[in-house]
């Protein structure tokens, strides 16, 4: 089954609006846990998980099962529990709370992420940052992306189109607050990039997509649900995500694990491979 065939019968605009509504609802759940305080436990891989992660994911899974019951869903907490469907063609990647450590620290850089993969590429994505009142979405198949202000439990404000920008001189990079490393610093230095904005979660993709930064390098490993929604948003806004050898970044890899990547707008990055230790 091809990715295209897998969503036949679904209107793309209707599906995207459904994904936006699900991200908003999940963001409201996350926000209520943020305000009231969420129980934290430690998973077998020693990463934290909260009641907000579980509640938001359950809401997204239930909603996706209604709007697109024939499309498999790979979700972070389901995968952590060993429940991973076989994927062949289109599938959803869900991270109900990207930036859990930021959430626990009472920061504001956590997001809800829902992405659609078709034929190995992210084609549709929604990123919602409830603590920042920022909602982003896009469809790469039509090359359009949007942003709207949206406070938790409040109506969505007017949307506006977003797009990547022409590179600044020197280019501005965006990097993670919690995953800074010497390899990233070396890559930035080699490219003469001295302006760097630090932000957490999938907001790094959103900043490049909305023309607030030029490039986002990541030398360390991530999971596909961490990147799918933001990557789709970036591609919809005119950007691209490349693997360490500057080839198009693909999804549906073994274990849904990512190696390093570079996400960029119109900036043309050097390969990341020489800076990564396998």
Which residues carry a binding-site annotation for substrate? 76, 97-100, 226
Its sign, for the CA torsion 159, 164, 170, 172, is: positive
CB atoms under 10 Å from CB of 6, counted, come to 22
Q: How buried is residue 9: exposed, middle or buried, by Cβ count under 10 Å (0-12/13-18/19+)?
A: exposed
Identify the CA nearest to 205 among candidates 249, 239, 171: 239
Q: Could you give the strand order of the β-sheet that contains 121-129, starting from the edge strand earlier in sequence? A: 73-75, 91-98, 111-118, 121-129, 134-139, 144-149, 160-162
Q: Which residues line the annotated binding site?
A: 76, 95, 97-100, 226
For residue 92, the SS3 value is strand
Q: 188: cis peptide before it, omega within 30°? A: no
Contact in structure between 57 and 75 (CB atoms under 8 Å) = yes
- The rounded distance, in Å, linking the Cα atoms of 278 and 266 is 28
Q: Which residues line the annotated binding site for Mg(2+)?
A: 76, 95, 97-98, 226
The neighbouring-strand residues paired with 146 are 137, 161
CB atoms under 10 Å from CB of 67, counted, come to 15
CB atoms under 10 Å from CB of 223, counted, come to 18
């Amino acid at each position: 089954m091809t990715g295209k065939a897998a969503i036949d019968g679904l209107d793309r605009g209707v599906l995207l609006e459904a994904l936006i509504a699900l991200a908003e609802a999940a963001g409201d759940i996350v926000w209520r846990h943020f305000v009231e305080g969420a129980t934290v436990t430690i998973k077998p891989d020693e990463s934290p998980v909260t009641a907000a992660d579980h509640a938001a994911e359950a809401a997204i899974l239930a909603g996706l099962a209604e709007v697109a019951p024939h499309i498999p869903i790979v979700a972070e907490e389901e995968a952590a529990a060993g429940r991973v469907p076989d994927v062949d063609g289109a599938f959803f990647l869900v991270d109900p709370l990207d930036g859990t450590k930021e959430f626990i620290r009472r920061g504001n850089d956590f997001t809800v992420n829902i992405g659609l993969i078709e034929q190995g590429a992210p084609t549709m994505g929604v990123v919602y940052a409830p603590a920042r009142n920022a909602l982003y979405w896009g469809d790469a198949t039509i090359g359009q992306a949007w942003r709207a202000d949206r406070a938790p439990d409040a109506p969505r404000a007017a949307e506006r189109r977003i797009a990547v920008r022409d590179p600044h001189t020197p280019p501005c990079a965006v990097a993670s607050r919690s995953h800074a490393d010497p390899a990233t610093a070396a890559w930035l230095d080699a490219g003469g990039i001295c302006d760097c904005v630090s932000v957490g979660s999938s907001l790094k993709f959103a900043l490049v997509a909305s023309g607030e930064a030029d490039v986002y390098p990541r030398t360390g490993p991530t999971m596909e649900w961490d990147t799918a929604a933001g990557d789709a948003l970036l591609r919809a806004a005119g950007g691209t995500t490349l693997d360490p050898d500057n080839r198009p970044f693909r999804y549906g890899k073994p274990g849904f694990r990512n190696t390093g990547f570079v996400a960029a707008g119109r900036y043309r990055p050097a390969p990341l491979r020489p800076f990564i230790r396998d």
